[in-house]
Chain A
């Protein structure tokens, strides 16, 4: 709690927002303890096996699998680039940390999307919910990333789980926003056409709106993964492990070399994940059809 004097002392009543937040968090830790334990157990059950798998198999296998995926989705140039980039990371001393970070990013973004996409669908269909969600999403996006770590420590202690959960909260907003945007941008006449033939709302949503909104939703998926990657490094502060640890340590010791190596590993992961998710979106038939339709027009 800040001890600064407010310049408005004596003019306006002091608003003890910080105190309120503290008591809310206190109350939540006390009463919702079991719920938090359950959440922690689930997250842990997801991250640990993936982490074990990625760090367990030889680096060559991971490099080849990702390079192969890159080749298949984007062509041989990108496949080769992926192999070179990841090969570089494998040649540095932080391969295991890189794989831990990858595992955390994948789990955090998967969970974020599981929550974000249905929420986006809901607020796209419901104007009032959208009006409520908007400021909440603004808050989530603009709140300094470090701040999420404080309640995460309160609720979940130190370690991977609070790191992943803080990452989840931080990376969710673009997933919600772009899902909503994508659905709202679907051509009204096409939606009306579906309705005019008597299609029930679920059918309009699943077979018309979602396929047509997919390119925008995939941009959201991409954004979520990128934000997760940036946050998971910050989560190193709460002992989440992975590249975050490496970078935090380098920072505290002012070690330029290992800091740069950790940084480069993050960049390589970011580029590979970004391009891969980008091309997954483009491969959906509805996305291709729409792109071709735009070109034809």
Chain B
């Protein structure tokens, strides 16, 4: 069951909402559909599901409806139409008391301008949700302190919020949400008010905490780089509608329309694209038990000078060059064992960012080997491929993604068994 499920969700502000809904139903752009009506549509037909433990980013410019959308997820705003399910519970029809219970137990929220209470200490702020839930003071204190420790602010517990810097205040906001102990975290432009360096720092901290806690996070942002950095999946919103949902790479390499394409045009691709999205098939891959004769033929057929050698369970072992194959032939060996070298080729993992490939590519004599999580050879990256990936100015020109399955096939082909 998804942690959050949103189905045909609409929010129309103003009057004559029925008429507005009717006009929006056939998918006309917002401004055309509502021309002359005293109504504004903030969210139009939103549909998505968020899996437990996922970081789901909703990205859009201001006025795209993302803040309205997130406020419908915990009932701060009532939808005009549609359904929001939290752990299977329909939220839109809950009575106020039941809605408050659901907020206490399932969903907490972090706000753009921190929304700390200026007259309460950092500790009292962090423990606010527990106070609302009616926990005894000692337990409240303990759990709030735990949350403050998690964000590294335990020493500031007795200070008032105005003593803290912006970044620290937002960490208190995060601690307040964490102390609540809910599985779902809504973050509304949580880092947008921070300056870039601090923003990067708290993003790191969020990623660290998330690796440890595995919360379900809905994160709203207008910053594409932030979306790409944090999101497992990203929903791009425009004029109230969600125009694309996908992983960062999917959105970069296959934008749903020109709007998304333009939006992602400025992204630092080298930070988002990973080794797996630019790598190519290794021309010549052989098992270590193959004889030098087979290796020599493979080299001739593929007109290369290097063989990528794999061991048991297709583990990548290293490379063998033409010279060594010839030497093995002369010495009459039955396998390549003993000739494999790890010196000439650098290895990286599939999720290494392209930005981090340059040094390896420069120092590697042969194309860099890309290994999957199990240490198998997934593909290689020749220098020229890396350069062309960088040179591509539109997403369409980025080399197509080589699926691991295809690479396995290559391995099998070179395998005589």
Contacts and interface: CB of A to CB of B under 8 A. Distances in A.
Are A and B associated in one complex?
yes
Interface of A: 187, 189-190, 192-200, 203, 208, 211-212, 285-286, 289-290, 292-293, 295-297
Given A189-B112, A192-B76, A292-B162, A199 B100 contact: yes
Contact of B162 (A187, A190, A199, A293): A293
Interface stretch (B41-49, B84-92, B128-136, B394-402): B128-136
B117 interface: yes
B103 A286 contact: no
> 7 closest A-B pairs (Cβ-Cβ)?
A198-B104, A286-B119, A193-B115, A198-B103, A293-B162, A198-B100, A189-B115
Contact of B104 (A197, A212, A296, A297): A197
B122 to A, nearest CB: 12
A124 B115 CA distance: 21
Given A196-B109, A197-B128, 6 more contacts: A192-B111, A198-B133, A199-B100, A211-B117, A211-B119, A296-B163
Contacts of A192: 71, 76, 109, 111, 115
B118 interface: yes
Contacts of A296: 162-163
A252 B154 CA distance: 71
Contact of A289 (B76, B101, B119, B180): B119
Contacts of A297: 162
Contacts of B115: 187, 189-190, 192-193
A199 B108 CA distance: 12
B291 interface: no
A292 B117 CA distance: 13
A187 B116 CA distance: 10
B407 interface: no
Nearest to A203: B132
Nearest to B107: A196
A200 B97 CA distance: 8
B160 interface: yes
Contacts of A194: 117, 128, 132
21 contacts: A187-B115, A189-B113, A190-B115, A192-B71, A192-B111, A193-B111, A194-B117, A194-B128, A196-B74, A196-B108, A196-B186, A197-B104, A197-B108, A197-B129, A197-B180, A198-B101, A212-B118, A292-B118, A293-B161, A296-B162, A296-B163
A210 to B, nearest CB: 11
Interface of B: 71, 74, 76, 97, 100-105, 107-109, 111-113, 115-119, 128-129, 132-133, 160-163, 176, 180, 186
Residue of A197, A211, A292, A295 most packed against chain B (CB within 10 A)? A197
A290 B119 contact: yes
Contacts of A199: 100, 132
Nearest to A292: B162
A189 B74 CA distance: 14
A212 B119 contact: yes
Contacts of A211: 117, 119
Nearest to B104: A198
Residue of B103, B112, B162 most packed against chain A (CB within 10 A)? B162
Contacts of B186: 196
B140 to A, nearest CB: 13
A190 B114 CA distance: 8
Contact of B160 (A193, A198, A212, A292): A292
A197 B104 CA distance: 5
A214 B177 CA distance: 27
Nearest to A288: B119
B135 to A, nearest CB: 12
Residue of A192, A295, A297 most packed against chain B (CB within 10 A)? A192
A192 B68 CA distance: 13
A274 to B, nearest CB: 25
Contacts of B71: 192
B100 to A, nearest CB: 4
A189 B76 CA distance: 11
A295 B160 CA distance: 13
B94 to A, nearest CB: 12
Nearest to A284: B119
Given A189-B111, A196-B74, A200-B100, A289 B162 contact: yes
Given A197-B128, A198-B132, A286 B118 contact: yes
A125 to B, nearest CB: 14
A293 B169 CA distance: 12
B28 to A, nearest CB: 32
Given A189-B112, A203-B132, A197 B118 contact: no
A282 to B, nearest CB: 13
A289 B118 contact: yes
Residue of A193, A195, A290, A292 most packed against chain B (CB within 10 A)? A193
A212 B161 CA distance: 14
Nearest to B71: A192
Nearest to B164: A296
Contacts of B108: 196-197
Given A289-B160, A289-B162, A293-B162, A198 B119 contact: no
A210 B55 CA distance: 36
A228 B285 CA distance: 95
Contacts of B117: 190, 193-194, 208, 211-212
A286 B120 CA distance: 8
B103 A197 contact: yes
Contacts of B116: 190, 193
Contacts of B161: 289, 293
B187 to A, nearest CB: 12
A47 B128 CA distance: 43
Contacts of A198: 100-105, 129, 132-133
